[in-house]
Amino acid sequence: MDSTLLFSLRLSVQVALAATFLIVMVGITAAYLLASKNFKGKELIDILFTLPLVLPPTVTGYYLIILLGRNGLIGRFVYDWTGWGIMFTWYAAVLASFVVALPLMIRTTRAAIESVDKSLINASLTLGHSEFETALRVVLPLAKKGIVAGTVLSFARAMGEFGATLMVAGNIPGKTNTMPIAIYTSASSGDWSNANLMVIFFSLMSGLFLYIANQFTKRTI
């Protein structure tokens, strides 16, 4: 086996784990707020969070470059002050995966949270618990299946991210070539045996993740 193959596998897992960690933190919070609160601009926020799900990853990548490139709206300040840029690093790959997979987590979790009986929440309040405690001890535990399913789906999506990742992290062997990018490079240069190996592995792994996610969603509804 090629050393790049092992490296790209390790990198893909690393990126996906980091992205999924962020996704779980942000996703659960966002899903809870969207599910239980009404505030001005809620519809807009909802659309904004869902956009990466329907936009092509290249468009998402494009927006990330505009924001975070060396000349980007935010990136230029970071570069001027620290001389550091996120582009072409594995952090950029994490960010790309995060943005692209977050909507999946939010949608799944939000649906699960919304299906929790409101009277359970009322009961918890009358028993002296704050909204935050209620969320932690009643709502989220009851939404567990949806949360786990969302997490697994997000992880799988993060592992498979390609378009936006290629645009912001680039293809740097030994640094940012996640497995999807490595497959692309192998196929582009005619290295079919390498590509085959990676493709088979990836397909099996994705199938496994879907199976796991299904087990959790089957019994809800």
Partner 1 sequence: MGLSIKLLKKVKGFTLDVEWKIGNELAILFGYSGSGKSLTLQCVAGLMEPDQGFIRSNGDLFFDNTLEINVPPQERSFGYVFQDRVLFPHMTVKGNIAYGLKGLRRSEIRDKVAEMINLFHLQGLEDKFPSEISGGQKQRVALARALIRRPKALLLDEPFSALDGPIRLEMRRLLKEIRNDFDIPVVLVTHDVMEAYTMADKIIVYSEGRVVKTGSPSEIFYLPVGVEVEPLRDRI
Partner 2 sequence: MALLLIVMVIQSAEFLFAESAKEITVSAAISLKDAFGEIGKIFIEKHPGAKLVFNFGASGDLARQIEAGAPVDLFASAAQKDLDDIDRKGLLVANSRANFASNQLVLVTPTRSKIPVNSFQDLQKNQIKRVVIGNPKTVPAGRYAEEVLRYFSLWDTIKEKLIFAEHVRQGLDYVARNEVDAAIVYSTDAFVRDKRVKIVAVAPEGSHRPIVYPIALVKGTRNENLAKSFISLTTSEEGKKVLLKFGFEIPK
**Residue 29 within binding range of partner 2, rule CB under 8 A:** no
| Segment interacting with partner 1 (CB under 8 A) among 2-10, 105-113, 138-146, 190-198 | 138-146
Q: Locate tokens 């299904």: which residue?
A: 214
128 binds partner 1 per the rule CB under 8 A: yes
Nearest residue (CB) to partner 1, 99 versus 143: 143
DSSP 89: S
Structure tokens at 150: 């969302």
End-to-end CA, the chain: 44
Contact 135, 32 (CB under 8 A): yes
Stretch that binds partner 2, among 13-21, 118-126, 134-142, 183-191 (CB under 8 A): 183-191
Number of Cβ atoms within 10 Å of the Cβ of 105: 31
Inter-residue contact 125 to 134 (CB < 8 Å): yes
Q: In the complex with partner 1, which residue's Cβ is closer, 125 or 187?
A: 125
The secondary structure of 120-144 as a DSSP string is HHHHHHHTT--HHHHIIIIIHHHTH
Residue 180 binds to partner 2 (criterion: CB under 8 A): no
Q: Which 141-160 positions form the footprint of partner 1 (CB under 8 A)?
A: 141-142
Radius of gyration of the chain (CA): 20
Distance CA 88, CA 169 (A): 4
Q: Does 52 bind partner 2 (CB under 8 A)?
A: no
The reply to whether 136 sits near partner 1 by the rule CB under 8 A is: no
Shortest Cβ 87–partner 2 spacing (Å): 6
Task: Please give the residues from 83 up to 102 whose contact with partner 2 meets the rule CB under 8 A.
Answer: 85, 87-88
CA dihedral of residues 29, 33, 34, 38 (deg, nearest 10)? -170
Quote the least distance from Cβ 122 to partner 1, whole Å: 5
Q: Is 14 in the site for partner 2 (CB under 8 A)?
A: no
Applying CB under 8 A, which part among 96-104, 134-142, 151-159, 175-183 lies near partner 1?
Answer: 134-142
The residue behind tokens 């535990």 is: 141
Select the binding partner of residue 127 from partner 1, partner 2, none (C-beta < 5 to 8 A, by kind). partner 1
| The residue count for the chain | 221
Dist. CA 31–CA 12, nearest whole Å = 26
Q: Does 114 bind partner 1 (CB under 8 A)?
A: no
Q: Which of 81, 190, 193, 219 binds partner 2 (CB under 8 A)?
A: 190
Interface residues with partner 2 (CB under 8 A) are 69-71, 85, 87-88, 166, 170-173, 185, 187-191
